[in-house]
Structure 1
């Protein structure tokens, strides 16, 4: 049984996802790039519509501590787990993000481009509580130490987002954009800013453990978990709790070749008031007298569950207060900044149907992109240098190299095709681990299909 917690926390962390989408950022031929910067110098087609459920799908996975091969290799499995636990620091974490565009449309009105749609998103982050993982794996028999309960730190959210955005070409050089979002959610969990210690000391006789919980302040907020068996696709898609958010962005050309872009996304919150539950455990508890010797099975002694006995004592003497109080969930806000330089042959040699609203000159682009996000006290970041080339304004290829919280370095690549009314794109991040995903701490994929008129 002791392996369950370890496997769930450590191995499953490799299916956790992150939120950096630098390969799509500032692809002005792609209407989906407006979701990363509502002020991008988008080429302003007359109209675009995303193929439902196919216009933009994104998933990436990563954690800062291990990969699958750390556990499942030619070495002894128990030794691998011990080495993995030893490798953890309290600052290590995993995070996940998945996004599926359900409806996406956009239309031009003079120098403004309007966009609207609905997408479904799930995301979360969890720290790895090193002390408690060691307690679960090794036990505390003979251990004179304190275990930090405050290392428990996680949040996760499943939401549907309705959005409406405006992209305005203020001048020849400047684009500004804004988007308003309505969040709706029926599923949310969080436990952050906890504190407390679990202390164990061996008694003078050496046969008993004196144990205590001190300065405990442990909180767990959840929505929808108590009624999860009643969930259907409809009430997950249209949640019972609502919130409001905003995106802001800009694009500015210093000259025909140099452009700076920036955006801030998800300045918002969800207020959870329906199907909520709040559990709070606070206080101090002392416990002694639990023997650390194993039962004598030969004499017919019963197997006594160490953790069950201890848990029963704690529950009796340190009860948890449960309520249905409402709470506010603050969205993890994302910041993007980009600088690009366009060069090479004329990008408009073909007799193209579409004309760019920006001042881009050249069929090649060198760019730098920076991303940051703070979630549950963890800093997510990336810095990437990228090279993109277009061929006849029909085929686009893009490569990147950079660093982030998961990989150093990280390689990525993407392609896009603009032919007739179709815009098709695919991006793959973490290419340096793509040939053997078992050695990867993170993976990322994205694809989409949109129609432009």
Structure 2
């Protein structure tokens, strides 16, 4: 239980691997219904679909841009959470490192072709936990070493610690969505999706600035002056803390679940847009922009702010290995300029852009029945055909100060009309050798698929700094 706001601030900023969501294996793969969530303008050759409730899409991803942040390094010789935090700090991370986390479960996903066959309607609801955090290097140095950064017993005066790198967002939301896909002509398909968001948990801090440094007044009986200057540092939370005593107050699971269904008044909205353009039967381009919107949290609010101040003291900051208890004591003795209020807060979601270029190849097969596809170029072949494709995908999520990007090369292949696979090689901030794989199988109208990323690290997952897995089941007609 986190009872002290400074400790809570530090755990959030430094430890929480918390919207970055690049599903490069799933993007434009085997005409799965879930690809509509990544590009509302993808090509849809089936007439309707129904996702298995709670199992149509289960997704989890967590990672750090630092290769050293992994399970084994964090828990090495650790006896409690304080040791884990210390292990993280000892890795020597810099302010350009980031942490990400994303988890999704689809409760329902349905689609059907309208009376005008050029239109395909899809709708549903999913639960999402999503987060992002930069590494606050200066705050971490101050937390662990105080004013004696050289650890030689002599404090450093006028050594500034900046708040600029404090940047985190975390949310647990329910997303209700409806989308329309339109085939404009044989070459162009476009689509859009509208999403209503219901906030269950929320945390946000960003656009922070200000400086702390140690000053000296040798003529005073309390010669050390802790100076907080030009501070604009705020942590907004909804559903996390009790605003009266700042204790951890997440509530019962039933309360968190109810928050996904517009019970507590925290709401938002966003839109997605996308397209696919077929130059010919072999070359096509696609792209999408997702999550253009914002969310407002209005329930169980706690805002913690630092204020400008000069606090006289008989000593300088010197944690000396007992960091958690040391800073807790400073808070209890009012030696930190903190103000706690109840304020609603809003923020814009981080837009994400996907794009791809794909080349298709066709080969003859003796298979006679397709699972659900309409093959547009049947007239060019005397027999049935199967597809293979290769190309490139790009992804960008617009994060404050540091966009998160990825470039992916891929190869996909239909082994039979009922079995497809996709292999990817991704270069991004998390890895330069990320190999992913996806499989999709059809048994009559039933589909099951699974994807996994960073396969190279699966054999030693405790030493991995990034991993994602996904699976789902649908009925496609």
State the partner residue of 1:58: 59
Question: Which segments of 5 or more consecutive residues in structure 2 lack a partner in the other structure?
Answer: 149-153, 243-248, 320-324, 379-384
Q: Does 1:268 align with 2:293?
A: yes
SS of residue in 1 equivalent to 2:138: helix
Counterparts of 1:96-175 in structure 2, within 5 Å, are 96-109=101-114, 110-141=117-148, 142-144=154-156, 145-175=159-189
State the partner residue of 2:21: 19
Deviation readout 1:169-227 (Å, 9 max, x if unpaired): 1101110111111111131111111112221257779x964432222111121222336
Deviation readout 1:381-424 (Å, 9 max, x if unpaired): 11110011102221011111121111112111111101211111
Q: Does 1:254 align with 2:275?
A: no
Distance (whole Å) between structure 2 residues aligned to residue 310 and residue 267 of structure 1 = 42
SS of residue in 2 equivalent to 1:232: helix
Question: Which segments of 5 or more consecutive residues in structure 1 lack a partner in the other structure?
Answer: 295-304
Deviation at 1:311, TM superposition (A): 3.3
Go from structure 1 to structure 2 and tell me whether the alpha carbon gap of 1:89 and 1:358 turns closer, same or farther (over 3 Å shift): farther
Check the 8 A contact 1:99/1:121 in 2, yes or no: yes
Mean CA deviation greater in 365-374 or 190-199: 190-199
Distance (whole Å) between structure 2 residues aligned to residue 293 and residue 442 of structure 1 = 35
State the partner residue of 1:298: none
Distance (whole Å) between structure 2 residues aligned to residue 54 and residue 348 of structure 1 = 33
Query: Which of 251, 275, 289 pairs up with 1:229?
Result: 251
SS of residue in 2 equivalent to 1:245: strand
Go from structure 1 to structure 2 and tell me whether the alpha carbon gap of 1:171 and 1:12 turns closer, same or farther (over 3 Å shift): same
SS of residue in 2 equivalent to 1:389: strand
**CA RMSD for the aligned pairs?**
3.3
Counterparts of 1:384-403 in structure 2, within 5 Å, are 384-403=408-427
Q: Does 1:89 align with 2:72?
A: no
Distance (whole Å) between structure 2 residues aligned to residue 177 and residue 78 of structure 1 = 49
Distance (whole Å) between structure 1 residues aligned to residue 435 and residue 131 of structure 2 = 24
Q: Does 1:322 align with 2:341?
A: yes
TM-score by length of 1: 0.86
Distance (whole Å) between structure 2 residues aligned to residue 219 and residue 237 of structure 1 = 25
Deviation at 1:357, TM superposition (A): 6.8
Counterparts of 1:213-362 in structure 2, within 5 Å, are 213-225=228-240, 226=242, 228-229=250-251, 232-239=255-262, 240-290=265-315, 307=327, 310-312=330-332, 314=334, 318-320=337-339, 322-324=341-343, 326-346=344-364, 349-356=367-374
State the partner residue of 2:211: 197
SS of residue in 2 equivalent to 1:411: strand
Go from structure 1 to structure 2 and tell me whether the alpha carbon gap of 1:113 and 1:154 turns closer, same or farther (over 3 Å shift): same
Go from structure 1 to structure 2 and tell me whether the alpha carbon gap of 1:306 and 1:412 turns closer, same or farther (over 3 Å shift): closer
TM-score by length of 2: 0.82
Mean CA deviation greater in 264-273 or 353-362: 353-362
Go from structure 1 to structure 2 and tell me whether the alpha carbon gap of 1:385 and 1:347 turns closer, same or farther (over 3 Å shift): farther
Check the 8 A contact 1:244/1:270 in 2, yes or no: yes
SS of residue in 2 equivalent to 1:343: strand
Number of equivalent positions: 435
Go from structure 1 to structure 2 and tell me whether the alpha carbon gap of 1:309 and 1:275 turns closer, same or farther (over 3 Å shift): closer
Deviation at 1:8, TM superposition (A): 5.4
Check the 8 A contact 2:145/2:318 in 1, yes or no: no
